[in-house]
């Protein structure tokens, strides 16, 4: 399991226990849509402490999820560059992306491990 998945689960868990007014904003939405809406939540100063705090944490989790997704994409691009420099033919195989190719190369680079 990765950190991005953990953050998404935390977000979903917090929505379940959020005040009804906030839960309603997310009802029936996909995870992608939940992340987008949570990232744009505006805090209303008239809200009570529970509502404000919940909204702030939802927004913070959504921003963290976006940051982690961007970081993961950057790592995947770096891994793809490494694979292309060593064995570009692997990336041309059906179903083989940068992560699978890197895993194969690491496993085969140490024959006694495979």
Per-residue pLDDT tens digits for 10-50: 999 999 999 999 999 999 999 999 999 999 999 999 999 99
The answer to whether the beta carbons of residues 11 and 35 sit under 8 Å apart is: yes
Domain edges within the chain: 3-113
- Has residue 112 got a pLDDT over 80? no
pTM over 0.85, yes/no: no
pLDDT at 1 over 80: no
pLDDT band at 76 (very low <50, low <70, confident <90, very high): very high
Q: What is the mean pLDDT of residues 55-84?
A: 95
Measured CA distances, 9 to 5, 15, 54, 61 (Å): 6, 10, 15, 10
- Tell me if residue 102 falls in helix, strand or coil: helix
Residue carrying the six token digits 């496993």: 107
Which token pair is 37?
């809406």
Q: Are 11 and 29 in contact (CB under 8 A)?
A: no
């Amino acid at each position: 399991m990765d950190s991005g998945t953990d953050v998404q689960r935390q977000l979903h868990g917090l929505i379940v226990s959020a005040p009804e007014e906030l839960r309603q904003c997310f009802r029936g939405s996909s995870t992608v849509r939940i992340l987008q809406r949570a990232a744009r939540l505006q805090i209303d100063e008239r809200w009570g402490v529970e509502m404000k705090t919940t909204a702030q944490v939802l927004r913070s989790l959504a921003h963290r999820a976006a940051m982690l997704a961007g970081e993961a994409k950057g790592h995947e691009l770096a891994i793809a560059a490494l694979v292309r420099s060593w064995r570009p033919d692997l990336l041309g195989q059906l179903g083989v992306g940068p992560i699978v190719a890197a895993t194969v190369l690491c496993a085969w680079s140490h024959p006694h491990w495979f």
